[in-house]
Amino acid sequence: MATTKGTEDNLEQELQSLTERETFEPPAEFRQHAVVDDDSLHRKAHDDPEAFWLERARQLTWVSEPTESLDDSNPPFFRWFADGKINASYNCLDRHVDAGLGDRVAFHWRGEEGEEEAWTYADLLRDVQRLANGLKERGIGREDVVGIYLPMIPEVVVAMLACARIGAPHNVVFGGFSPQSVSERMKVSEAKALITVDGARRKGKTAPVKTEVDQEGIGDLDHLETIVVVRRTGADCEMAEGRDVWYHELLDGADDECPPEELDAEHPLYILYTSGSTASPKGIVHTTGGYLTGIAHTTKIVFDLKPDEDVFWCSADVGWVTGHSYIVYGPMLNGATSVMWEGAPDYPDKDIWWEICERYGVTILYTAPTAIRAALKWGVEYPERHDLSALRLLGTVGEPINPKAWAWYHKVIGGERCPIVDTWWQTETGGIMISPLPGLTATKPGSATLPLPGIEAGVYDENGEELDEGQGYLVLKRPWPSMLRTLYREEDRFVETYFEKFGRETYLVGDAARKDEDGYFWIVGRIDDVINVSGHRMSTAEIESAIVSYEHVAESAVIGEDDEDSGQAVTAFVTLEGDAEPDDELESSIREHVAKRIGKVARPKRIIWADDLPKTRSGKIMRRLLRDIAEGREHGDVSTLREPGVMDDLAEKVREQGDEGDE
């Protein structure tokens, strides 16, 4: 390793001093060329929200333009632009090709073993039309749900847009999920077809996806009539006569032209099941006109997107809403050039992301705090191998970002010149709701800052009174175009989950949050991630941030354990950076550090050293499992974990550390 102890300590100090700075103004250079550099959008949205949104909607190309904006006659079943007709695939493809941009690269695709493909808008339009025709020949049309279970390959974009072209709602299942979860999702959505792959590559190995799909009996589901198989790895697989068809054969035999269906604005575009870290997955339903309006608009203003100059890279998987909105629909609606990476962040080596940024000249990088913490843990030597100077804007999403990870991202990746947009939103909101506008908003590390134009957020207490300070329930006070319309076939659950607590006009987010003196929003975590120690309500995220700000700490997860004295006590799982070794001294220093940063009540009663933490495949720490471990229970279902082995390692650790004697 090239870095010496001295420079590491230097970096620690610099990060430390960055975390002590409260606000970061947009760099003057950035502001000068920013898409949004004043508050005129906010003013328009404030003065007449419906006119504001209608005007945004009209930036898209409609078959027939809407004259209505919001229809709120039957809350909470809101409708947007309901008299308009539109097609998503047309807006992502034909519109740009017709404007002479057919040769523009839509995706620089990079495969695990270094392969490269450049897919232009014209290339995608050609394949989308053929696949759309192939699906139609197989009897798939409007309202028929099509499952998509594919790795990060260009065909996943073709598949989504082909569905959109013919009005068949897609139901994408993350490629890392098990065939069993695919089966469940196909069952509950009564999918008529599934588009999958022969095999998928992951870190130099291959998984026999189609064979696993067959073993799970997915093709035997009554309603599932067609399985389309993309040939990727050449893995052996059986093709059931009449039911299964190779993707390339379907395309070869299909007509080149497929006119886009003229769809109502409220036609369902997709269903996406949220990653059930609690209860059964919810089938979030998004419709066409409102969703596209919200996504096109937020991509442009939040990422300051200049489609003819930028290279945009959202590092999520297409299987999450982040991928739907900010890999596929958002960039493509704007005619932008994006990067798509097939693999993991540490294969072939831990510098692969930075190599990709350098190679394609990525200007905007959008990722998750968990990825930043991993990079921080691996060390600066990896980004330092590459030229990251094309980057001009950084983004994060998924959870609150610890100030230290923020500082590292800002300094090591952004070279202190790139604004960071911490974007708060959910699968349900479809697009970004609370975020800085990078040329306008001063940022505060750890805060998603302010609601975007047209979005009205608030923090309510138990009785629905608005709180200007202190922690409460995050709510969205007026409907927005890209909001979910319902939960698929669970209308009652939709109303109960989101529109019961504060009435049918107010969307209950499910997050706890607080506002500061500048009206900035600080997301504290999900409502249930709150610990109560001797009557003091504290957020796990706040304590985690304090722990992580201590030197050599890479990551932390905090849970509340039942405690005779205080009701609940703070237990912290702590992962250290690189080769730092845990010892008693470090343990007591961390405790004191937390006491100093937050207060004595927040001081962890127990610290458990961990090499890794149990996370869902989307990177969310599963505290339920940590609670099981801490309290010595058999742990529950681990099937949604990214690395199921983590649990046994941790249980072992807890046993060892328990033997060393409790306090």
| Interface positions with ligand WT7 (CB under 6 A) | 274-275, 321-322, 397-400, 422-427, 448, 510-511, 523, 526, 618
Structure tokens at 177: 């999920």
Report the alpha-carbon distance of residue 611 to residue 553 in Å, rounded: 11
Measured from the CB atom, is 250 or 621 closer to ligand WT7? 621
Distance CA 536, CA 112 (A): 49
- Beta strands in 342-470, from DSSP E residues, in sequence order: 364-367, 393-397, 420-423, 457-460
Contacts of 499 (CB under 8 A, 6+ apart): 75, 76, 505, 506, 507, 508
Residue whose C-alpha is closest to residue 131's, from 256, 244, 225: 256
Spatial contact of 334 and 296, defined as CB atoms under 8 Å apart: yes
Contacting residues for 461 by C-beta, under 8 A, at least 6 apart: 467, 470, 472, 473
- Tell me the closest approach of the beta carbon of residue 82 to ligand WT7, in angstroms: 26
Nearest-approach distance from CB 322 to ligand WT7, in angstroms: 4
CB 338 within 8 A of CB 366: no
- Shortest CB 104 distance to ligand WT7, Å: 27
Residue closer to ligand WT7 by CB (options 278, 532) is 278
Query: Residue 366 CB, nearest distance to ligand WT7 (Å)?
Result: 10
* Residue whose pair of structure tokens reads 């028929």 in the numeric block: 144
Nearest to ligand WT7 of 60, 523 (CB atom): 523
| Per-position DSSP letters for 335-359, written without gaps between them | T-EEEEE-S-TTSS-TTHHHHHHHH
CB 319 to ligand WT7: min, Å? 11
To ligand WT7, the closest distance from the beta carbon of 605 in angstroms equals 26
Nearer residue to ligand WT7 within complex by CB, 274 or 363: 274
Query: Where would I find the H helices in 464-534?
Result: 491-499
Nearer to ligand WT7, 264 or 544 (CB): 544
| CB atoms near residue 341 (< 10 Å) | 19
Token pair for residue 485? 């319309």
Q: How far apart are CA 572 and CA 560, in angstroms?
A: 9
CA distance 656 to 237: 46
CB of 431 to ligand WT7, least distance (A): 9
Minimal distance in Å, beta carbon 647 to ligand WT7?
A: 21
Q: How far apart are CA 447 and CA 424, in angstroms?
A: 9
- Both tokens of 560, joined, read 């509340």
Calpha distance 288→270 (Å, rounded):
8
Nearer of residues 326 and 341 to ligand WT7, judged by Cβ: 326
Q: With respect to ligand WT7, which residue has the nearer C-beta, 130 or 526?
A: 526
Residue 448: CB minimum distance to ligand WT7, A: 5
Nearer to ligand WT7, 511 or 628 (CB): 511
Nearer to ligand WT7, 275 or 338 (CB): 275
**Cβ atoms of residues 81 and 54 within 8 Å:** yes
Contact 629, 622 (CB under 8 A): no
- Report how far residue 81's alpha carbon sits from residue 264's, in angstroms, rounded to the nearest whole number: 9
CA atoms of 433 and 625, how far apart (whole Å): 30
Smallest separation (angstroms) from ligand WT7 to the CB of 522? 9
- Least Å distance, CB 371 to ligand WT7, is 12
Name the residue nearer to ligand WT7 (CB basis): 426 or 497: 426
Three-state secondary structure readout of 425-458 = CCCCCCCCCECCCCCCCCECCCCCECECCCCCEE
Choice between 591 and 620, CB closer to ligand WT7:
620
Closer to ligand WT7 by Cβ: residue 235 or 442: 442
Q: Nearest distance from residue 172's CB to ligand WT7, in Å?
A: 14
CB atoms under 10 Å from CB of 338, counted, come to 25
